[in-house]
Amino acid sequence: MADISQTANKQLDRHIFRRWQNLKNAKRFIVGWLGLIILLVVGVVVQTKALDNYYLSSNPVAGGVYTEGIVGSFSNANPIYAVNDVDSAVSKILFDSLLTYNDKNQLVGDLAATWEVDSKGTTYTVRLKPDLKWQDGAVITSDDVVFTYTTIQNPDAKSPYMSNWTGVKIEKVNTTTVKFVLPNTYSPFLYSLTGGIIPKHLLGKIPPSELRSVAFNTKSPVGSGPFIWKGVTISNNGQSNQSETIQLAAFDNYHSGKPKLNGVTIKTYPNEDALKKALNDNKIIAAAGLNLADKDVAQKNEATSFSLMSANMIFLKTTSPILSDIRVRQALIKATNIPALVGEIGYEAVPVREPLLESQIGYNPAYIQFSYNKTEAERLLNNAGWQLTGKNQYRTKNGQQLVINLAFDYSSDFSQIAEGLQKQWADVGVNVVVEVNQDSKNTNKYIDSHDYDALLYGINIGPDPDVYAYWHSSQIDIHSQIHLNLSEYKSSISDIALEAGRTRTDPLLRAAKYKPFLEAWRNDVPAIGLYQPRYLLVSNQHIYGLPARVINSPSDMYDNIDQWMINTAKKSES
């Protein structure tokens, strides 16, 4: 044992302790090798990361909560009452309709599987998709459809959409089929079926006169849309700064499949400045309806522009003493350099050149409005007896100055247009006195009174060319429920053409029927067409599944919200 121990000590001394001194002498070589190994490891990690970026790309994935801000206030989610931008947005997300629009602004089925119209164009039959459910699990049937539209028709319910359903008979055929019978042929009828359907099993026993104020509308709405109601909270920093937060969660059993987003939150703001601040502070993902020029959108943000099927025009009240003279109206349009005016709004807009929009049935380039011609404008005014005398800047006739009162609801676009119009009309001797409505809560001020000579205003036309409500003489009386003939335009030729155009189903025949109206409108100049406005959504990140497109109203932006995505993840491109 002693010999073995002695031998072991000799071996340790020889192979370990003596060589340890050698390691000390070779330390620079060891440090060098260790450094090289560390460098190689770091290089491999860096290269792997770089290759990840090369071979992997960011792709949208499901999940996340989309938060959007809108100027306004929330008052009613029920689609038979929703009118303002906030209510319409919430209603659109909560409630599905029989028909909706695709990305080409064409009608497609939502709750409806099929629909057909008879040869007379007066009976429409709609069949529901199978296995439709309300968000509380109840089955959706034709009873719900009949209940929705008969409630709108009931004057006690006081729905703002009642006039659209006058004279329409709604019949249940079976549990999945509804028939709509019209008193006369009305070609745009299918577009009336894009409003939300409400549940009879929850609202059917409530008296129509009480429907507008029930808790269902603001505290517990149940729809059939892609997102369900979670609740609303109110932040009150003074009456003028009240803000609501409406929270919605994905409806797992949605008939088109579970939405990609986990939820949607709508926040309201009292004014545009507050909305912009919320976006800049990243309190919201997107701000809807901002009035910004393209150059004013921050570089860090993304702008999605939706062209609206609407027309911004200068309506010339033909019953006004000065504007009752057709020569004056023709002079005003020829004194208006429209491209110069529209060029000041800060974004590229689709021009409006006649009462129908370029994409609509019946639009005819042969009847576009008169173009800018200052010399001709001055000649027409002279012929109408309005003369420039002495050093006077403005024209007079029988001692009266040529003054046009121009009214409009405030917006940055309209302010630019009005300022330019004042200068252009002053160049031919017309004094333009501007009246601006600054009250955002009273946007019907001029509609209700028709108190103006000229009105700068936008009308919503939609995909169908039926503009009866805006130009037929029956729509003038301000005491009637609908009085949207803002120019108070009377023309027997136009009346006949407008009546004929809406009662024909063949597109070519409709276009032919509208020709006399287009010609009369061009010559009579009841208005000056400017441009189609846009609805602008500004976001601080990309929203997948939301392309810029043509829409009929701001809420149509949400037609495919079940397909929107905001989250991303790295995925292989293989």
CB burial class (10 A; 0-12, 13-18, 19+) of residue 61?
middle
Q: Rounded distance, CA 72 to CA 554, Å?
A: 13
**Helices (DSSP H) in 112-167: which residue ranges?**
142-153
| 113 & 246 share domain | no
Query: How far from the centroid of its chain's Cα atoms is residue 531's Cα?
Result: 16
Residue 471 lies in a domain: no
| 403 & 521 share domain | yes
| 277 & 362 share domain | no
Q: Are 94 and 227 in contact (CB under 8 A)?
A: yes
Q: Give the pLDDT confidence score for residue 313 in this predicted structure.
A: 98
| 134 & 42 share domain | no
| 338 & 283 share domain | no
| 357 & 369 share domain | yes
Which of the listed residues 217, 246, 280 is the one where a domain comes to its end? 217
Q: How many CA atoms lie within 13 A of 443 on its CB side?
A: 11
Q: Rounded distance, CA 170 to CA 61, Å?
A: 43
Give the residue ranges of the chain where pLDDT is below 70. Answer: 2, 5, 8-31, 33, 46, 48-56, 237-240, 571-574
- Identify how many contiguous H helices and E strands the chain contains and give both numbers: 15, 23
Residue 473 lies in a domain: no
Residues contacting 129, CB < 8 A, separation 6+: 109, 111, 112, 113, 255
Strand pairing of 302-308 and 169-174?
A: unpaired
| 279 & 326 share domain | no
Residue 474 lies in a domain: no
| 324 & 411 share domain | yes
567: domain CATH number is: 3.40.190.10
At 25-50, the pLDDT tens digits run 556 666 676 777 888 887 777 676 66
Which of the listed residues 217, 248, 276 is the one where a domain comes to its end? 217
Residue 32 lies in a domain: yes
Q: Give the pLDDT confidence score for residue 38 in this predicted structure.
A: 86
Count up the domains in the chain and report the number: 4
| 291 & 424 share domain | no
| Structural domain boundaries enclosing 32 | 2-59
Residue 84 lies in a domain: yes
Residue 469 lies in a domain: no
DSSP reduced 3-state for 268: strand
Q: Are 535 and 551 in contact (CB under 8 A)?
A: yes
Q: Rounded distance, CA 127 to CA 193, Å?
A: 13
116: domain CATH number is: 3.90.76.10
Q: Are 115 and 126 in contact (CB under 8 A)?
A: yes
Q: Give the pLDDT confidence score for residue 507 in this predicted structure.
A: 94
DSSP reduced 3-state for 569: strand
Q: Give the pLDDT confidence score for residue 67 in this predicted structure.
A: 98
| 270 & 351 share domain | no
321: domain CATH number is: 3.10.105.10
Residue 472 lies in a domain: no
Q: Give the pLDDT confidence score for residue 481 in this predicted structure.
A: 72
Q: Give the pLDDT confidence score for residue 438 in this predicted structure.
A: 87
Distances (CA, A) of 383 to 322, 325, 397: 14, 11, 11
Q: Rounded distance, CA 130 to CA 526, Å?
A: 49
| 509 & 488 share domain | yes
pTM value is: 0.87
At 84-102, the pLDDT tens digits run 999 999 999 999 999 999 9
Q: Rounded distance, CA 207 to CA 32, Å?
A: 90
Residue 66 lies in a domain: yes
Structure letter (DSSP) for residue 13: I
Q: Give the pLDDT confidence score for residue 240 in this predicted structure.
A: 61
Helix (H) or strand (E) holding 100: strand 99-101
Structure letter (DSSP) for residue 189: G
Which of the listed residues 198, 217, 236 is the one where a domain comes to its end? 217
| 446 & 366 share domain | yes
Q: Give the pLDDT confidence score for residue 40 in this predicted structure.
A: 82
